[in-house]
Amino acid sequence: MNLHGIVSGVIGTVNPFVPVTLQQSTGTYDTAPDGKRTPHYSASPQSVQVQALSAKEIQHLDGLNIQGVLRKAYLNGDWRGVYRATNQGGDLMQFAAAAGVPTSLQGTTWKVVQVFETWPDWCALAIQLQ
């Protein structure tokens, strides 16, 4: 049962979902002659709800030495921070400078740094401004 799908309409009246391009790591990369690696991503349009972190979540991320501008994102699907078994992770969220996107998010890129919750149909992620 997708509980997030059931309540998202009500929550969306207070904190609306915004469009985002999710860049999911494919697990492959190109290596330049100088050794620099450029990862490959698969892009897909998504809708995401961005919220502030709770005090407990901030404390958890601080304990992992994850710092910077951080938010919590709810979205449908199964997205990851790091998944070593398939050499994937480091998914990116790119917010367009468009109507419907809050000005604080417009034109920004965020990296998935932690998965707080993962369910068959939705997940809650910690994202960090890049």
The H or E element spanning position 112 is strand 109-118
For the segment 62-87, the average pLDDT, to the nearest whole number, is 83
Q: Which residues contact 30 (CB under 8 A, 6 or more apart)?
A: 37, 38, 40
pLDDT in tens, 60-70: 999 999 999 99
Structure token pair of residue 51? 């919220």
* Per-residue pLDDT, 14: 77
* Per-residue pLDDT, 8: 65
Q: Outline where the chain has alpha helix (H).
A: 3-14, 55-63
Confidence of residue 90 (pLDDT cuts 50, 70, 90): confident
Residues 62 and 57: their CA atoms lie apart, in Å, by: 8
pLDDT in tens, 91-127: 899 999 988 899 999 999 999 999 999 888 889 999 9
Q: Which domains are delineated in the chain?
A: 3-25+39-129 (2.40.10)
Question: Is it the case that residue 19 has pLDDT exceeding 80?
Answer: yes
